[in-house]
Amino acid sequence: MSRSIKKKKRKPIGAGIKTGMAPGTMLFIGEKKQDKASIDIIHYSETELNELRDITVDQCLVFSKVPGITWMNVNGIHDINQIELLGKCFDLHPMTLEDIVNTTQRPKVEEFSHYLFIVLKMMSYDGANNLVIEHVSMILGKNYVISFIEDEGDLFDTVRNHIRAATSRIRLLKADYLAYSLMDAVVDHYFLTVERIGDRIEDIDEQILAEPRPEDIREIHQLKRDILHLRKAIWPFREEVGIIAKSDSILLQAETKVFWRDLYDHTIQIIDMAETCRDILGGMHDTYLSSISNRMNEIMKMLTIISTIFIPLTFIVGVYGMNFEYMPELKWHYGYCMIWSLMLAISLGLFVYFKRKKWI
């Protein structure tokens, strides 16, 4: 894999569409990223905090009924049975369960009677400079949030650290603020992604101006694809944040409205940054082609100058290379030296002429 999104096996057009299946049928579509699915839970209030790892669905249901806020994080969405059991315990709509296990689902938000369903895409660069896209789903209930991620990792470590801090705002507010915090962590990763792309753009720009290489154009096209994936994630993300900010759902508290509006502003900022990067990459593509063309012109100019200098020399050598018997200069004692002097004089004269014309 070169430098961007982790490549999966190519699928034909239309792959992932569940042809012939009834709506709401659960079918995992994506790449299995861990062997065993697990559920971690953080239950907290203003004064209490409990963290448990690898718990059962029944325990999730018990904690969700205890006073306080419960965050259930499901690591691995390939376990259909586990997610189906969660759906039964929390009365989730079959279409919601279908979208949870479909990693090709675009970001969106849907409002149901007792929960909000949110789909988004997490983006980050790994250590090998590859853009990694992860499908993330969330269920926002009255006093709980269920998050579904493809692989166990540190995507939401900042949120966990805030919850562990006894004086943090998240410990004082309701479950909707927890959902906001998780989405804000996703937006933070978007900022980091755009910054990484910006750094790569600066490096490539300097390289193109100094000495353009074939791999530079490949890097430019790869960054363009990264920007395209970012735009496909952030545009619908902006729409769903706008919907949440304007929603009258009883699950959304009045005091958190200002945070949703701020998150919406951040998405606008990311979109502007992504558009700027895309425009710069388009200009860099033209700059690369111009640099290559200029280098080619310089090479052709030098070769033309050398050829021009050798044209009269070739003529002289050709004349005296003919096999005629009666050529007076052939028997002249100083003929060889004179021919060399003449050729050197012509070469020097042409060189001076080209120099004065600033062709070399």
Same domain assignment for residues 141 and 254? yes
pLDDT at 183: 95
Could you tell me if residue 32 is inside a domain? no
Residue at 212 is within a domain: yes
Tens-place pLDDT, residues 272-300: 999 999 888 888 877 777 777 777 887 88
Does the structure show a pLDDT above 70 at 136? yes
Q: Which of 290, 312, 329 is the last residue of a domain?
A: 290
Q: What is the mean pLDDT of residues 33-58?
A: 89
For residue 60, name the pLDDT band (cuts at 50, 70, 90). Answer: confident
Whether 2 is in a domain gets the answer no
Residue 186: pLDDT band with limits 50, 70, 90: very high
pLDDT at residue 237 tops 90: yes
Say yes or no: 71 and 114 in one domain. yes
> Is there a single domain that holds both residue 102 and residue 143?
yes
Q: Are residues 159 and 145 in the same domain?
A: yes
pTM value is: 0.77
The answer to whether residues 265 and 301 belong to one domain is no
Whether the predicted pLDDT of 80 surpasses 60: yes
Average pLDDT value for residue range 12-41? 72
- Of 256, 290, 324, the residue at which a domain comes to its end is 290
pLDDT over 80 at 330, yes or no: no
Label each residue of the chain as H, E or C: CCCCCCCCCCCCCCCCCCCCCCCCCCCCECCCCCCCCEEEEEEECCCCEEEECCCCHHHHHHHHCCCCEEEEEEECCCCHHHHHHHHHHCCCCHHHHHHHCECCCCCEEEECCCCEEEEEEEEEECCCCCEEEEEEEEEECCCEEEEEECCCCCCCHHHHHHHHCCCCHHHCCCHHHHHHHHHHHHHHHHHHHHHHHHHHHHHHHHHHHHCCCHHHHHHHHHHHHHHHHHHHHHHHHHHHHHHHHHCCCCCCCHHHHHHHHHHHHHHHHHHHHHHHHHHHHHHHHHHHHHHHHHHHHHHHHHHHHHHHHHHHHHHHHHHCCCCCCCCHHHHCCCHHHHHHHHHHHHHHHHHHHHHHCCCC
Q: Do both 230 and 322 map to the same domain?
A: no
Lowest mean pLDDT among 98-102, 210-214, 346-350: 210-214
Whether the pLDDT of residue 11 is over 60: the answer is no
The answer to whether residue 3 scores a pLDDT higher than 80 is no
Q: Give a yes or no: residue 23 inside a domain.
A: no
Asked whether residue 31 is assigned to any structural domain, the reply reads no
Of 273, 290, 307, the residue at which a domain comes to its end is 290
Find out whether 242 and 159 touch, Cβ atoms under 8 Å: no
Task: Let me know if residue 7 belongs to a domain.
Answer: no
CATH number at residue 213: 3.30.460.20
Same domain as 199, residue 62: yes
Least confident of 79-93, 158-172, 232-246, 341-355: 341-355
Letter for the amino acid at 129? N
The answer to whether residue 345 is domain-embedded is: yes
**Rounded to 5 degrees, what angle do the CA atoms 112, 118, 120 make?**
160
Residues 121 and 222 in one domain: yes
Q: What is the CATH classification number for the domain harbouring 339?
A: 1.20.58
**Structural domains in the chain (count):** 2
Among candidate residues 84, 124, 123, 113, the one with its CA nearest the CA of residue 100: 84
172 and 44 both lie in a single domain: yes
Could you tell me if 50 and 82 lie in one domain?
A: yes
Q: Are 348 and 222 in a shared domain?
A: no
Q: Are residues 199 and 244 in the same domain?
A: yes
Q: Is residue 24 part of a domain?
A: no
The residue segments making up the domain with residue 80 are 38-290
